[in-house]
Amino acid sequence: MIDFENIKLTELPNFKGGDGITRANMFVTDEIKICRMIFHPGDSTAEHLHDTSSEIIYVLQGRACCTLDGREEIVLPGQAHYCPKGHTHSIRCDGEFPLVVFAVIPEQ
C-alpha cells in the first residue's frame, strides 16, 4: 500500500523547466514513480521528452492544460492524460483553483 498522507511533500521549483513550484508526494523505485502532485494556478512543467518511460496523469481536482507533442488538450477531473514513451508533453494548472493529479511513470 502507498499512503500519500505519510509521504513527505516535496517542493520542486521550476520542475522539468516549468514555472512556479510543483508539490509532490513521491513513491519512487528503480522500476516506477507513483506521485500525487499539486500545481497552483500558473504552475507548470515545460514540454519534456519521455525517452525511458511513459506517463499517465489522472486529474483528481482542478483543470489541466496538457500538451502531447505540442498539441494542447484540456483534462478535467475523472479524465487522464497519457504520454507514451518517446513523446513529449507538459502540464499546466489552467484554472483558478489548485490542480491535483495522480501520476504513474513506469520505466520501460
Q: For every one of its 108 residues, what pLDDT tens digit does the chain have, with 9 covering 90 and above?
A: 999 999 999 999 999 999 999 999 999 999 999 999 999 999 999 999 999 999 999 999 999 999 999 999 999 999 999 999 999 999 999 999 999 999 999 998
Q: Whole-angstrom distance between the N-terminal and C-terminal Cα of the chain?
A: 22
Q: If you search the block for the grid coordinates 513527505, which residue do you land on?
A: 8
- Residue 87 is assigned to a structural domain of this protein: no
- Residue 53 is assigned to a structural domain of this protein: yes
Grouping H, G, I as helix, E, B as strand and the rest as coil, residue 108 is: coil
Range of the domain at 33: 19-40+49-61+95-108
- Residue 70 is assigned to a structural domain of this protein: no
Distance of CA 103 to the CA centre of its chain: 6
> What predicted TM-score, i.e. pTM, was given to this entire model?
0.94
Number of domains making up the chain: 1
- Residue 25 is assigned to a structural domain of this protein: yes
Return phi, psi of residue 36, to 5°: -105, 125
Q: Pairing relation of β-strands 9-13 and 21-28?
A: antiparallel
Q: Quick check: 3 and 72 in contact, CB under 8 A?
A: no
Cell reading at 73: 488538450
Cell reading at 37: 502532485
pLDDT of amino acid 12: 97
